[in-house]
Chains A and B, each alone.
Chain A
């Protein structure tokens, strides 16, 4: 059989079979197409402002390496004038992170982009290795996910950058869509497919503050996924044909059951019909519009729409990050996997309903908060769910009154005051009466944010003085 010729240039030998449309094209045409399509995604959704400072969440893996390379290329080609920096999180997982960080360092040199590394150790006083030593291998993903979300924001704030881009690809997004269907999490389902997830003060007020990067607080960092329509396969191919330097590895600690399950499904789907990955993404976008109480859930994607307070809350708190922020398997229970746990919880719910022993503590809140809390309630540890509901009431309209007495251990740090002053008072807050963590000032629908709660649990077992929550100065 004669070799196929590239369908685009008709001269070179076809080397790439594109999953999304079965086109056979040569390496050069592929690279050009990949870059053009990424640029289209960026321009069609108005992702960047001219001259904007952008932090690229760089893990050293293929996705973020390709993202850095493509953004650098496009920025120069199209004269976007973006000020790009690399931002890495060091979770402190020996044997996983140290090698990939080396890759990031090499990329920083090669692309001539400044690099900032923030570690869990310096932010929270705990590396993931230490967390795992404490809570075991099960459930540690919760810690990692919750910590990472904040860490990227804090790192960005340290750099004075209000916009972080991450390397999430189409496969990741499709996986998240299926995963949230499997675990019945509509709020996250509705967010999974937004290309921009923005915290309330990000975006709008930013324009006027341009040129004053120092004013960025870690509570108003915007996130986006420029590669969310790119196949993982094509990202690998792009990295291969551009001979990019990346480190390929999986986290050595346990992956979540739901995500693992969804990942297998996506891989099998791709084998049956490669187009289906983008079809899942499309379905996710369409379903997001059907989630009740989520009017305007296009949020960042179409900017100006009213980002309701409720929606944004969780956004600040945790995200559909790989590694699942707040997947709820939390607190390192030793019982089975995440799926088994949810199964148990659902069974109890069923039984309670059948026997009529159910107590609806949260009834009045339901009407206001709608689905918002569902995911957390369902899988979260009971204590956490209760706290959430109790506070939820007060939070919708007021700043939280100092609720609990016993649980508040005020470790007031410099950061907290700063954040409180800046974002709490300075920013024009028309409908953005959003709760902040009492301790660290991070966005939270609860009195104390998830990271601080997890930290409290950890710290209890390791008596220490002078724990610095969020020593990250602005």
Chain B
């Protein structure tokens, strides 16, 4: 019907489904969108997750600081970008912001991150930036004891004698019997370090960049590592196993969507992103459980994106055990030990699998 624009105007499938003005750049769950509409879609999804940190929730004179751990991967970098944008908008509209960001980079041995950090700092000068090394975790309360208390790790202590924290961290990792265990321990130590840092710097919560895909991977990976009991804390927003609540503002977005988003941002985010080299699935010898789940969901994400999202949604419905009245928690991962560990163990089953020589 020419000349009349009914609300149900026929959709031009060659144009962006939302604005009907530009060529679509990407198909989001069967909806073709142009780059601009897609970017709006991404920001909306993230901002929606930040509800509890809106300006109007801020008491006058109060200051809320949130910690954003930045790995320079596409997800955490994109999160930083979107939130910076949101804060800028808030500042323009209300001349104040609902929260402030403290960005922390944890160095895990790959060198060239110094220059990246200064680039990011240049681009988003409004935030506070810090960096620390993973070996700093050895200064966190309880961590050194954890690795030295056991007599069987005596030789570990000797090797460490006088060497640098990095050296002792390296030998600790070297003492583990599988790549999966190393991967697992590294993730836990990063979390511990981030939490300790957040507490020291009065950060109210931690904002992780995990995408829906990553959370789905972690759901299955933690299950396979015998850590099913800790899943509610892994995937739910606002829960705290370590005393500081975790949030996952990117939880409604797939990894491929975030990667695409990062490539559309102007000026490009690419020179501040370290893309992980995709490990080909050659030998299972060096593949970790996390790698396996990553490969698996990479393919599921292509064909069945909603199933990925549904895994996360479902897992978030699991109810965390209340930490009140819990007598003992795993010394490594903090999960309550009642019923999750052999009698008189300091570690939960999952952590015993990772650190079998420290399990007594």
Contacts and interface: CB of A to CB of B under 8 A. Distances in A.
Interface of A: 177-178, 181-186, 261, 265, 268-269, 271-273, 275-276, 278-280, 282-287, 289-292, 339-340, 342-343, 346-347, 350, 371
A339 B289 contact: no
B309 A346 contact: yes
Given A272-B284, A287-B228, A181 B29 contact: no
A275 B180 CA distance: 12
Contact of B220 (A178, A271, A286, A290): A178
Interface residues of B, number: 43
A133 B310 CA distance: 34
Given A186-B317, A346-B309, A181 B289 contact: no
Contacts of B296: 265
A181 B226 contact: no
Contacts of B349: 279, 282
Interface stretch (B54-62, B79-87, B136-144, B300-308): B300-308
Contacts of B317: 186, 291-292, 371
Contacts of A339: 303-304, 307
Nearest to A264: B296
B289 A347 contact: no
- Which of B229, B287, B311 has the most CB atoms of chain A within a 10 A radius of its CB? B229
Contacts of B287: 272
B223 A346 contact: no
Contacts of B29: 347, 350
B289 A273 contact: yes
A211 to B, nearest CB: 38
B256 interface: no
Contacts of B304: 339-340, 342-343
A343 B307 contact: yes
A282 B319 contact: no
Interface in B278-335: 284, 287-289, 292, 296, 300, 303-307, 309-311, 313-315, 317-321
Given A181-B223, A342-B307, 13 more contacts: A181-B219, A181-B314, A184-B311, A184-B314, A272-B180, A272-B292, A280-B223, A283-B223, A290-B231, A290-B318, A292-B318, A339-B303, A347-B306
B232 interface: yes
- Which of B220, B224, B284 has the most CB atoms of chain A within a 10 A radius of its CB? B224
A327 to B, nearest CB: 14
Nearest to B284: A271
B307 to A, nearest CB: 6
A184 B321 CA distance: 20
Given A272-B284, A272-B289, A272-B292, A186 B314 contact: yes
B307 A290 contact: no
A340 B303 CA distance: 8
Nearest to B313: A184
Contacts of A182: 220, 307, 311
A290 B310 contact: no
A285 B340 CA distance: 10
Contacts of A268: 284, 292
A206 B320 CA distance: 36
B33 to A, nearest CB: 13
A282 B335 CA distance: 15
Nearest to A343: B304
A181 B315 contact: yes
Nearest to A276: B224
A108 B231 CA distance: 45
Contacts of A289: 229, 321
A284 B292 contact: no
Top 10 closest pairs, chain A to chain B, by CB: A283-B228, A279-B226, A346-B306, A184-B314, A286-B229, A290-B318, A343-B304, A283-B223, A286-B228, A287-B228
Contacts of A292: 317-319
Contacts of A347: 29-30, 306
A286 B303 CA distance: 31
B113 interface: no
19 contacts: A184-B314, A186-B317, A265-B296, A269-B224, A269-B289, A271-B284, A272-B284, A272-B287, A276-B225, A283-B223, A285-B228, A290-B229, A290-B319, A292-B317, A292-B318, A342-B304, A343-B304, A350-B29, A350-B306
B178 interface: yes
B346 interface: no
Contact of B340 (A261, A275, A286): A286
A283 B229 contact: yes
A269 B303 contact: no
Contacts of A279: 223-226, 349-350, 353
